[in-house]
Amino acid sequence: MTTPWFEDQNESYQDEAFDTFVPQALYRCISAEAKWDPQADLSDSFATLSDFESQVTELCQQHIDTHERFDALVDMFFTQWLFSVSSLKVPEYTLNSFSYMLSMRSGSETTLAILLCHLLNHADFDANVTINNSEVNVHIAISDEEGYLLEPSTGQQSWYIIPENASEENGDEQEPLELIFDEDVYKLYLAQQKWAFISGNKFGHALNCVEMLMELIGDDPYERRDRGYLLNQLDCPQMARDDLQFFIDECPDDPAIEIIQHQLEELEDNNKTHH
The pLDDT of residue 168 is 53
Helix (H, G, I), strand (E, B) or coil at 142: coil
75-104 residue pLDDT tens: 999 999 999 998 788 999 999 999 999 999
- CA distances (Å), origin 192, targets 18, 97, 110, 168: 20, 11, 9, 33
Helices (H), 124-181: 168-174
Domain architecture of the chain: domains with CATH: 4-180 (3.10.620), 219-274 (no CATH)
What is the identity of the amino acid at 180?
A: I
Spatial CB neighbours of 4, under 8 Å, sequence gap ≥ 6: 256, 259
Q: What is the DSSP letter of 12?
A: G
90-148 residue pLDDT tens: 999 999 999 999 999 999 999 999 999 999 999 999 999 998 778 899 999 998 888 89
Gap between the Cα atoms of 55 and 232, Å rounded: 48
Q: In what helix (H) or strand (E) does residue 116 lie, and over which residues does it extend?
A: helix 109-122
177-234 residue pLDDT tens: 588 988 999 999 999 999 999 999 999 999 999 999 999 999 999 999 999 999 999 9
Per this entry, what is the length of the chain?
Answer: 275
The pLDDT of residue 41 is 83
- CA distances (Å), origin 221, targets 47, 86, 192: 38, 35, 18
